[in-house]
Amino acid sequence: MKITLGPLPYFWEKKIVMDFYQSAADSDVDIIYLGETVCSKRRQLNLDDWLGLAHNLKEAGKQVVLSTLALIEAESELNALYRLCETAAKHGCLVEANDMAAVNILSKLQHPYVAGPALNIYNAHSLELLANTGCIRWVPPLELSKDAIRDIMQAATSPVETELFAYGHMTLAYSARCYTARAHNLPKDQCQFICLQHPAGMKATSQDGQELFTLNGIQTQSGKCLNLLNQWQEIRATGIQLIRLAPESRTVLELVTNLKSAKESDLSTVTPYLAHHCNGYWNRLAGMELHT
Amino acid sequence: MELVCPAGSLPAFKAAVEAGADAIYIGFKDNTNARHFAGLNFDDRKARQALDLARQKGVKLFVAINTYAQQREWHRWQSAVDQAVAIGADALIAADMSVMEYAHTNHPELALHLSVQGSATNIGALEFYVRQFNIKRAVLPRVLSLKQVKQVASSNVVDVEVFGFGSLCIMAEGRCYLSSYITGESPNTQGVCSPARFVEWRETGQHLESRLNNVVIDRYRADEKAGYPTLCKGRFDVDGHRYHALEEPTSLNTLEILPELQAAGVKAVKIEGRQRSPAYVSQVVSVWRQALDELRQSPERYTTHHQWMQALQSLSEGSQTTLGAYSRPWQ
């Protein structure tokens, strides 16, 4: 089972991003997803910067995948998506499609792609259909249980790899509205890139103090952090080939090391469960629940 | 522009017909549609009665099969498509690729509309659905600004339908798991959002508290009007401030931008609310019928009437309406 780092969910200064991926290059991660998936205004790194990073990471022996924006509204965003897909195809770099527009472009370019978690694949028929358009790997929608994922894998006949999002705050929704700007009383069009002040998003808690959501620009993420790492043996037994962690902080790279050594010595515990962890979806419960 | 109206029951269907709907959309009595609420929707017999009525009055009937089919239950979605064809529906509103593929392959004569739950927000995504399934219309998610709606509609990739009035989803529809995160049941999987069986009201002495699966969504003082605890309309604490962190309880109302939607080439406007009463449907549809008739008669003289706005406001969540994402400052 390969270990992957998903795309960066938060808006960080360029130097921090570069330093982070320098460390990732030296880590035990097998595959790294790069690119901006949340907001087209987050441009600390442009496409050339990402391609440069991709080059360095490939040199370090990592497979690199370029991830696309998940919510595409403006014409300029669609144009940027075309540019990304065409460039990736030219460089022979795999792309993670996070919107059907990306699927449309990549299928026309006949360039293989990963179906990201924001594409709605709830059954094997849909997965097969995408496999016929060039999908070689899929990340199941986050709300699917282990049983539902297993059912799809067993029914699918195309050789599509399955990658499970197993650690990090889950993206629960995408909106036209920027909640970070709203929290600062700023209009989205004059947001002052306020996300830079929140490298781990902003917590939205219920009136009795329960951490419910994490506001991350136009994304609403889970308040709790998904932790399926201690179930890695069960995940592997399901036939899942890749396990994904979200690069939320440098700590994630330590978890990668822990996971790697747990795999090598066949130990179940990668990281102890904490009060802010959850794993409900996998266990057919509400997403926020923790089943230990 | 075609006026597409909701009906969750035969009486609501009749009300929509009488109030001037051009087309009415319904769902079957299971989780194949995104308003899978207790006591709502149509069995085969009721659906056929609705169709008879529609045919008599020259109204179109659309069937929404717009949730996502999980592997083990896929046959139910398949049967629902066959059933929609059997009763003679004028169009199928679908979101799941597998459902569209099944319909396109087995019932190529049936018009396919991409549901708002299909989450297609741009012409690239729409082109995919046209190429793959030959969809005839797409309902746009409520995340686009008016300018963006114009761009999509004028591209002529596919006919466009937009939401005109009703409860306001503020997330890209079809890609929102807030409800399953808290309750385990989501629009995509179960056809529900913030389901009623998880709702609880508590008197705390100082407040009336609304809870969803034991999570506090809001607390109301005696002088405040309490609303249904839809997750995205709760009051939460962010950075020391307590406010509607995502959105206030409010309804979408686009009457004032109707001429612009028409000029942009939008082919249909949709009224949300299959969960609403026949009386609600009747009142809302009547207002929209008048507005669309006046718009057709003289687009240049069209203006919203005070009584229309007042009628709609009184039927709205929190008694207030918004243009939502159509208006850039809202975003």
Give residue-wise pLDDT tens across range B15-74: 999 999 999 999 999 999 999 988 999 999 999 999 999 999 999 999 999 999 999 999
Q: Which of residues 116-175 of A touch B (CB under 8 A)?
A: 118, 120-126, 129-130, 141-144, 148, 151-152, 155, 170, 172-175
The pLDDT of residue A92? 94
pTM for this entry: 0.97
List CB contacts (< 8 A) between A101 and chain B: 122-125, 127-128
Rounded to an integer, the average pLDDT of B81-101 is 98
Give me the helix-helix angle, B123-133 and A100-109, nearest 10°.
Answer: 60
The pLDDT of residue B319? 81
- Answer yes or no: is pLDDT of A150 > 90: yes
Tens digits of per-residue pLDDT, A98-108? Answer: 999 999 999 99
The pLDDT of residue A237? 97
Q: How far is Cα A42 from Cα A14, in angstroms, rounded to an integer?
A: 11
Interface check B120 vs A, CB under 8 A: yes
Query: In terms of Cα–Cα distance, which of A49, A53, A67 is closest to A171?
Result: A67
Match 């939607």 to its residue by tokens: B261
Tens digits of per-residue pLDDT, B63-84? Answer: 999 999 999 999 999 999 999 9
- Answer yes or no: is pLDDT of B240 > 90: yes
**Chain B residue closest to A127 (CA)?**
B98
Q: How far is Cα B312 from Cα B320, in angstroms, rounded to an integer?
A: 9
Cβ atoms of residues A232 and A1 within 8 Å: yes
How many other CB atoms are found less than 10 A from the CB of residue B243?
A: 14
Angle at A260 between CA A258 and CA A266, to 5 degrees: 95
**Chain A residue closest to B198 (CA)?**
A286
- A177–B151 CB contact, under 8 Å: no
Rounded to an integer, the average pLDDT of A80-104 is 97
Indicate the DSSP class of residue B43: -
- Answer yes or no: is pLDDT of A200 > 90: yes
Residue B6 bridge partners (DSSP)? B25
List CB contacts (< 8 A) between A183 and chain B: 238-239, 241, 245
Interface check A109 vs B, CB under 8 A: no
- Answer yes or no: is pLDDT of B320 > 90: no
Interface check B68 vs A, CB under 8 A: yes
Angle at B187 between CA A286 and CA A33, to 5 degrees: 70
**Chain A residue closest to B174 (CA)?**
A120
Compute the nearest-CA separation of A197 from chain B (Å): 12
The pLDDT of residue B318? 82
How many cross-chain Cβ pairs, A to B, lie less than 8 Å apart? Answer: 219
Rounded to an integer, the average pLDDT of B154-176 is 95
Q: How far is Cα B254 from Cα B166, in angstroms, rounded to an integer?
A: 10
Angle at B111 between CA B108 and CA B115, to 5 degrees: 120
Q: Which of residues 4-63 of A touch B (CB under 8 A)?
A: none
The pLDDT of residue A31? 98
Indicate the DSSP class of residue B277: -
Q: What percent of chain A has pLDDT over 90?
A: 99
Compute the nearest-CA separation of B131 from chain A (Å): 9
- A206–B236 CB contact, under 8 Å: yes
B296 to A86, B245, B290, B302: CA distances (angstroms):
44, 39, 10, 9
- B68–A120 CB contact, under 8 Å: yes
Indicate the DSSP class of residue A185: T
Chain centroid offset of residue B124 CA = 23
Kindly calculate the radius of gyration of chain A based on its CA atoms and give it in whole angstroms.
18
List CB contacts (< 8 A) between A198 and chain B: none
Q: Which of residues 187-246 of A touch B (CB under 8 A)?
A: 187-189, 202-210, 212-213, 215, 220, 222
Q: What percent of chain B has pLDDT over 90?
A: 94
> Which tokens hold the place of B127?
């082109």
Q: How far is Cα B193 from Cα B274, in angstroms, rounded to an integer?
A: 13
Query: In terms of Cα–Cα distance, which of B146, B143, B120 is closest to B133?
Result: B120
List CB contacts (< 8 A) between B212 and chain A: none
Which amino acid would we find at residue A269? T
